[in-house]
Each structure stands twice: as structure tokens, then as C-alpha cells.
Amino acid sequence: MSLLLVAGLLLQGGGWTVRPAAPTVGDTVWLERVVPALPGAVGRARALTADELVEPLRPPEIVTTTRGLVVRYTVAFFAPGRHELPMPALEVVHPDGGVELVLGDTALAVVRAVVPDTAEAPEVRDARSPLGRVAAEPLPVVLLGGGTAAALALWAFLRRRRGPAPGPAEPQAPAPEAPLLRWLAAGERRAVATLAMQRLRLRLEAAVPQATRGLALAECLAVIGAARRDWPLRELSDVVTALERARFAPLAGDDLTELVDRADVLLDRLAAAPA
């Protein structure tokens, strides 16, 4: 009988709420849901999977209140638009030992861009009337054609006497603009730190395949220290730790720029080091 009562309470639970209601890219966002439960019940929440659009900022939290179990996920979004997140299921353990599995459902978050879209719609203009045809005189056309032919013949004669002209110097390709600097100028400091951290972990994994991105930060540094004793491990640990902290406690713009530049210089040094 108690299980039927609990099932009825779970069906009354609301969906996920988003705080703040209109977040922007890089903001800390809380996804919350109230699961009604009997007094004395506890819950076990599963972790949310990270991808290139959303990243969990801390483990899931469950708070017991008079309304039931409040499940809270803290995340950050790195792209604007409408995000539909399939949420993990929740295990509710009742005082009598029974276990209920509550499906996670879907959390909806609409994220606004920090940089506004300034592209304007093209102006629609009326079609122009067709141009009238004017009768052409043959003499100007003949003179123009003859003058052009004479100029080409003179240019070919002079070029044959002087030899081939040196080819123009190849233009240098402009240096690519760093996306991280554009994000930093837009004020998205959390996103800059996260993307810089991901780029560093990818380069480290390419150099040391055992240091996969699935490892914790301390484990990754330990694997790299065992595989590459010739690397400046103390400096690498300082840079990686500073980037990890900047993801949750954003630095000032100048400090974050200096940290990203320091990470790029360190990556160039590591790439030049003999294997």
C-alpha cells in the first residue's frame, strides 16, 4: 500500500526549473526539480554527462525538505540557443527499504548570447526598369578595337626585348585570429578558461596517450610526470591548476589573457621537446 502511495506522490512532482530564467553563455545555471517523497526517504542522483555545449560545474546535490527531495545540478552552457538536456534518473530509497527509480525527464534552458547579432536583414528594393538600347555608331568601336590591338602589340614587343618581368612577391597570409581572445573581449571568461583547458588537455593527450581527458587532474599530472621526466612538470602543474580554478572563479581580463598566453608558450615548448 505504501508503494502505491509513493508512486502517486512521484507522479505529482513538477518538472525542472532553470535559475536564472534567462542565462547567458558562460553563466552558472542551476537546474532544480522537486521529487515528492515520504519522510525519511533519501535519494541518489547520477552525474550529468559533459559535452561541447554544456559542462557540469559540481556534483549533483540532493536536499531533503518538507516538500520532498530537491535535486539540483549546477552547469554552464557554452553556446546560445534552446538546449534540451536529457537528465539522469534519480533513485529514491524509502524508509522501508524499497527503491524507486524516477526518470530524469528533460530540462529546457534557453541561453542568450553575450555578443549581440548585429547582422541586419538585406534591404528589399524594387526591380529596376529595363535599360533602353541606344544605337551604336560603328566608327568609335573600330577605333577602340584598333587602338587596343596596337597597344597590345607594342607591349608584346617591349616585353620580348626586356625579358620576362619578375613575378610579384607572394602575399603573406594574415595571422589567424585567436577565438579565445574574441571570447575574452566579449566578457565570457568562464568559457575562455574552459576552452583553454580543453585545448591544453588535448595537446597533452596527443603527446602522452596515457594522459586521457577522462583522468582527473591529479591523475593526469601523475601520468605525465612518469612518462615525460624531461618536461617542466612544476610549471605545467601551475598552469593547469590555474586554468582549472579560473573555470569556476573567473580571473580579471588581463590576468586571464596572461594565463592563456602562458599556456600557449608552454605548449610550444613541450612540442619542441624531444620525445
Residues 196-209 have pLDDT tens digits of: 788 888 888 888 88
Q: Which amino acid type is present at position 169? A: A
How far apart CA 143 and CA 28 sit, in angstroms, is 75
Q: pLDDT tens digits, residue range 45-54? A: 888 888 888 9
pLDDT at 2 over 70: no
Q: Please, what are the domains in the chain?
A: 2-111 (2.60.40), 180-272 (no CATH)
Q: pLDDT tens digits, residue range 94-108? A: 888 888 888 888 999
Gyration radius of the chain's alpha carbons:
32
What band does 62 get if pLDDT is binned at 50, 70 and 90? Answer: very high
- Span 168-179, average pLDDT: 47
pLDDT at 59 over 70: yes
Q: Characterize the bridge pairing of strands 17-19 and 28-35.
A: antiparallel
pTM (2 d.p.): 0.42
- Looking at residue 30, its pLDDT comes to 94
- Looking at residue 99, its pLDDT comes to 87
Among positive and negative, which fits the CA dihedral 193, 199, 203, 208? positive
